[in-house]
Structure formats: C-alpha cells, structure tokens
Amino acid sequence: YVYIENNEHCFSSAVLLELQAEARSTNSRTETLCCPSLCRLSLSFQQRCGFRRAAKKAELKRAEEEVAPPQPEPSRAPPPPWVPRDPPGPPRSFGRLLKPLLFTVGFTGCSFGSAAIWQYESLKSRVQSYFDEVRADWLEKLRPQKQGDFRKEINQWWNSLSEGQRTVSGIIVANALVFCCWRVPSLQRSMVKYFTSNPASKTLCLPMLLSTFSHFSFFHMAANMYVLWSFSSSIVSMLGREQFMAVYLSAGVISTFVSYVCKTATGRLGPSLGASGAIMSVLAAVCTKMPEAKLAIIFLPMYTFTAGNALKAIVAMDTAGLVLGWKFFDHAAHLGGALFGIWYVLFGHELIWKNREPFVKVWHDLRTRRPGGGGNGGGSM
C-alpha cells in the first residue's frame, strides 16, 4: 500500500485504489522484464529453479583451501640418509677425457721414440760391452774364489735366465715395491691418489701409468706376475727388449684410457689398479703371432688348448663382463689391452717400428754433432 500524506489535502479512496492498481502493474512488468532481479531471490528458490550464482575467484580459492589439506612448502633441507642420492659430479662429462687422450697419445709416442733410441745406443755399445765382459771374466778368474760365494750363485742364476726373463725382472721388482708401499699407513692417501685410476678423480693422467704397477692384493699381483713371467721369453724374442718395453708401457696407458671411456659412458665410476691391461696385450700379441702354440693352466696341466682358442675365450669373457656390468674385474681395461696387442702384431709393428729410421737418424745427427759445428752428421745404422 502506498500512503501519501499532505498537510493540506488527502486523497480520496478512489484515487488511492487507482494508484495501488497502477503500482501492482508496474511491479509485475519490472519483474518480468528485468532478469537481474533474480539475483536477489533466496537460495532455496534459486535451487528450485535450477539456477546457481557464479562464485567469484576469491571465493573459489577460499573454498579450495578449506576443502583440500594444507600442502607443505618445499624445503631445501637435505634428504634423509636412507634416501639414495645421485653420485656427485657429472658422471658422463666426456670433456674431462681430453687430457687423458692427449696424455695417451703423447706417452705412446715417447715410449716408442725412447725405445728406438735405446736400441740404437745398445747396438752402438755392443762391441764395447763384449770387451768389457771378456775383461770381467778374466779378472774373475784371477781373483781367488770362495766356496759357496753368494754373489757367484746370484750371477750364475742371473746368467741362466733368458733375455725376456731378465727384462721382466725389473717390472716384477717395481710391482713388489709398490705392493709394499700399500702396507704403509702413512702412504695410503698418496697411493689412492696416484696409484689408482679413476675418471672421477682430480688426478687423471699420472695414475694411468702408475696404476699399471700397483696391486693391493698379493694374489692379484702374484697371478699377474706369473703370467708375465710365463710369456716373457716369447714376447721378447719376438719383439726385442726395447720394443717390448714400449709395447708394455703403452698398453698399460691405453688400457686405462679405454677403462676411462667405458666408465664415463656407463656412469659406473670407481678406482682400478693392476697390470692386467698391459699383460693382456702381451698375451694377445703372443697368441696372435703363434695361434697354434699349446697352453695349459698351472693347476690343471693335463688339459691343453691352443693359444688362438685361449685368446678367443678371454676376449669373449671380458666382452660379456663389460656388457653385463660385472664389477669384479675391469673388463674394459682387459679388452683395451688385448685389442692393442692384436692390433700391434698385425699392423702396428709395420706402421710404427719399421718407420723409426728417420727419427733415429735425427738422434744420430744430434749425438755426432760437435759443439763447434764439426763432425760429420752422416752415418747409418
């Protein structure tokens, strides 16, 4: 109802009724035409009509926070010790292998160059050595001998050895000295740093050579030295003393580099040591050069097999160990040494050793040149 009061006039009842009817018609038209008026309806009426008021973003976010449990903020605290962690450092950073590669190439070249010079000097002093030996024997006969002279027995034993056995005797002594150094507690840190090869270590190049003379287990050293002693006569008679030393040292460094590459590619980082890679090159060279030679195992001498079959079995076993991830031996180093020995016998001897004459001639010119410029630089081997 609409009431209009005036101090002077008062509408009649008819006028009031007319105004009321007009107000009702106006309200009905407004409710029919104006859809926004629905937003002011009660919630129960909206639900009955099938409408729902759209919630604002702030209200949606508040509702989600009320329903969902609170999420903890990410923490930078270290994981508990029982959670496995990734190994530190980049396990597959092949850029770190550039220095070992250059060291391998340079050391191999220096080894064969030094071997060529060593052979040249040995041939040059052979005549003088012969006269020295004759003089030593003559003086030995003039000097009174004592019965049971220990020095004489040592000399007789040394002279009874073959050239190959005398050559590898120095290698065996070096390995024995390094093995004794492992037993000194104060040297443990230095031994791990310089006498074990590990691609994750800060020192990469020098351990490639020193680890070839390093053994921590006596059984490991004894087995390697026995194999080296067994094949020493064959390999030295085939290559010569100087060339054998170049092949042996180069094989040790090359096998370690192959181990670096495989460990970096697979991410299985860890220290390695031992002369197995270099000895595998010696074994592979002899078996390739003499595949029909008969071999036997020390504990089973009744069973013999050819050197060619033995080489195939060893290469197959190391290949399987590398593929399957066996961790007891460094199979990559074994394969690297064996492949280098096979390659050198088939191709390397012709490619490297038989082309050493220009280098030896340069050394000969340097040796025969006088400080004043005199001397004839000519001459040949």
Residue 278, domain CATH: 1.20.1540.10
Domain membership of residue 350 as a residue range = 98-126+162-367
pLDDT at 41: 41
The phi-psi region of residue 168 (left if phi > 0; otherwise alpha if psi is between -120 and 50; otherwise beta) is: alpha
Q: Which one is catalytic: 276, 281, 331, 364?
A: 276
Q: Is residue 85 part of a domain?
A: no
Q: Is residue 30 part of a domain?
A: no
Q: Is residue 343 part of a domain?
A: yes
Is 201 labeled as catalytic in the residue annotation?
A: no
pLDDT at 378: 41
Q: Is residue 286 part of a domain?
A: yes
pLDDT at 368: 82
Query: What are the distances in angstroms from CA 376 to CA 118, 119, 372, 379?
Result: 22, 22, 12, 8
Cα distance between residue 265 and residue 254, in whole Å: 17
Q: Which two tokens stand for residue 54?
A: 């759209």
Q: Which one is catalytic: 232, 259, 331, 334?
A: 334
Burial annotation 361-379 (CB, 10 A radius, 16+ → b, else e): bebbeeeeeeeeeeeeeee
Question: Among 290, 165, 274, 179, which residue's Cα sits nearest to residue 228?
Answer: 165
Q: Is residue 151 part of a domain?
A: no
CB distance 105 to 345 below 8 Å: no
Q: Is residue 300 part of a domain?
A: yes
- Give the three-state DSSP class for 296: strand
Q: How does pLDDT run along the chain (381 residues), one tens digit per residue? A: 333 344 444 444 554 455 555 555 555 554 444 444 434 344 444 444 444 454 555 555 565 555 555 555 444 444 444 444 444 444 456 788 899 999 999 999 999 999 999 998 888 787 666 666 666 665 555 555 555 577 778 888 888 888 999 999 999 999 999 999 999 999 999 999 999 999 988 889 999 999 999 999 999 999 999 999 999 999 999 999 999 999 999 999 999 999 999 989 888 888 899 999 999 999 999 999 999 888 888 777 778 888 899 999 999 999 998 888 887 788 899 999 999 999 999 999 999 999 998 898 998 888 887 554 444 444 444
pLDDT at 294: 86
- The set of residues, in sequence order, having a beta carbon less than 8 Å from that of 269 and lying 6+ positions away, is 87, 91, 198, 199, 200, 263
Could you list the beta-strand ranges (E) of 211-271: none
Q: Is residue 104 part of a domain?
A: yes
Structural domain count of the chain: 1
- The set of residues, in sequence order, having a beta carbon less than 8 Å from that of 193 and lying 6+ positions away, is 201, 203, 207
Torsion 96-87-195-220 (CA) sign? negative
CB distance 198 to 269 below 8 Å: yes
- H or E stretch at 105: helix 98-124
pLDDT at 266: 86
Cα distance between residue 266 and residue 261, in whole Å: 9
Q: Is residue 281 part of a domain?
A: yes
Is 276 labeled as catalytic in the residue annotation?
A: yes
